[in-house]
């Protein structure tokens, strides 16, 4: 049995988690979600979402599989081609990858918009502050002056000059109803979700079946590599990406380990 078999649940700071622990990334992720709940950034339900994600990640081998890497490259191409790309932030995203989302937004020139399932003014403000603390200049989602059609009132709230007007949206860990409603609005939708059977990746133009802690930095790396690519080259990457094949490859890895 490893010395690290048990890592105390009351680790105060993530530096206390041994970096060579075999489950390091999972422990770090759990710790960040717990801190997110403590800070009022993440809803308690976010912990359940994290638990589901963690089980799928275990079965994927806790690595970015080749089809996910291809999806991340296609996502980078879509974001670079977009007229008005927006990255949507919820409580889990803010807790897990705040600096990484700010960096991606910088590289592809996108807006950041807070969009919550369990929406309260306190959580909206806490998340916006948290993002600003990680370098964001402007955070959208506080105005909520437009509505996504065909969704109940609370979940439909978006900014008119943000998600409402966007042509390409990155919606990580999105709830299925909202993902469907955004798709119906005709947006190009990029979803990050570890469950390939969940409704959100199934309606996405680009389903990324990968842990958000790997997916966002890898998408940024692709965007940097593609910074000098022509529009025609980016369009070829978008055309060649096969969403059905990506979903099938992820499901096969989870079911068979292959």
Listing DSSP states for 22-36 in one string gives: TTHHHHHHHHHHHHH
Site size toward ligand ATP, by CB under 6 A? 19
Q: Is 88 in the site for ligand ATP (CB under 6 A)?
A: no
Nearer to ligand ATP, 81 or 170 (CB): 170
Contact between 54 and 29 (Cβ < 8 Å): yes
DSSP 8: -
Q: Is 40 in the site for ligand ATP (CB under 6 A)?
A: no
Task: Assess 200 for contact with ligand ATP (CB under 6 A).
Answer: yes
Residue 199 binds ligand ATP (CB under 6 A): yes
Which two tokens mark 237?
């990457």
25, 36, 56, 114: which one binds ligand ATP (CB under 6 A): 56
* 112 closest CA partner among 133, 91, 134, 131: 131
Which of 25, 90, 115, 198 binds ligand ATP (CB under 6 A)? It is 198
Part in contact with ligand ATP (CB under 6 A); list of ranges 2-10, 20-28, 187-195, 239-247: 187-195
**Minimum separation from the CB atom of position 200 to ligand ATP (A):** 4
Query: Per rule CB under 6 A, is residue 23 in the interface with ligand ATP?
Result: no
d(CA 28, CA 223): 26
Compute the chain's Rg from CA coordinates: 18
Interaction between residue 219 and ligand ATP (CB under 6 A): no
Interface with ligand ATP, residue 173, by CB under 6 A: yes
| Per-residue 3-state assignment (H helix, E strand, C coil) for 189-209 | EEEECCCCCCHHHHHCCEEEC
The smaller minimum CB distance to ligand ATP, of residues 64 and 211, is found at 211
End-to-end CA distance of the chain: 28
Shortest separation between residue 105's beta carbon and ligand ATP, angstroms: 18
Does 64 participate in binding ligand ATP (rule CB under 6 A)?
Answer: no
Nearest-angstrom CA–CA distance, 229 and 199: 32
State yes or no: 30 annotated in a binding site: yes
Question: Cα–Cα–Cα angle for 135, 28, 250, nearest 5°?
Answer: 95
Q: Give residues in contact with ligand ATP (CB under 6 A).
A: 29, 49-50, 52-53, 56, 96, 173, 175-176, 192-195, 198-200, 211-212
């Amino acid at each position: 049995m490893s010395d690290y078999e048990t890592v105390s649940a009351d680790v105060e700071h993530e530096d206390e988690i041994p970096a060579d622990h075999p489950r390091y990334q999972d422990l770090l992720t759990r710790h960040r979600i717990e801190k997110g709940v403590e800070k009022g950034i993440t809803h308690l339900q976010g912990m359940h979402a994290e638990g589901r994600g963690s089980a799928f990640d275990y079965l994927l081998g806790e690595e970015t599989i080749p089809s996910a890497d291809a999806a991340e490259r296609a996502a980078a191409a879509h974001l670079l081609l977009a007229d008005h790309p927006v990255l949507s932030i919820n409580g889990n995203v803010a807790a897990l990858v705040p600096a990484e989302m700010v960096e991606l937004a910088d590289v592809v020139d996108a807006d950041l918009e807070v969009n919550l399932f369990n929406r309260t003014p306190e959580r909206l403000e806490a998340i916006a502050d948290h993002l600003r603390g990680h370098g964001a200049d402007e955070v959208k989602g506080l105005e909520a002056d437009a509505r996504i059609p065909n969704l109940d009132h609370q979940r439909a709230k978006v900014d008119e000059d943000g998600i409402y007007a966007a042509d390409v949206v990155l919606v990580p860990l999105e709830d299925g109803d909202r993902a469907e409603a955004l798709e119906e609005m005709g947006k190009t939708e990029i979803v990050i979700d570890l469950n390939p059977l969940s409704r959100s990746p199934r309606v996405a133009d680009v389903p990324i079946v990968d842990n958000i802690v790997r997916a966002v930095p890898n998408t940024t790396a692709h965007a940097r590599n593609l910074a000098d690519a022509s529009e025609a080259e980016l369009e070829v990457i978008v055309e060649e990406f096969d969403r059905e094949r990506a979903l099938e490859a992820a499901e096969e890895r989870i079911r068979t380990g292959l």
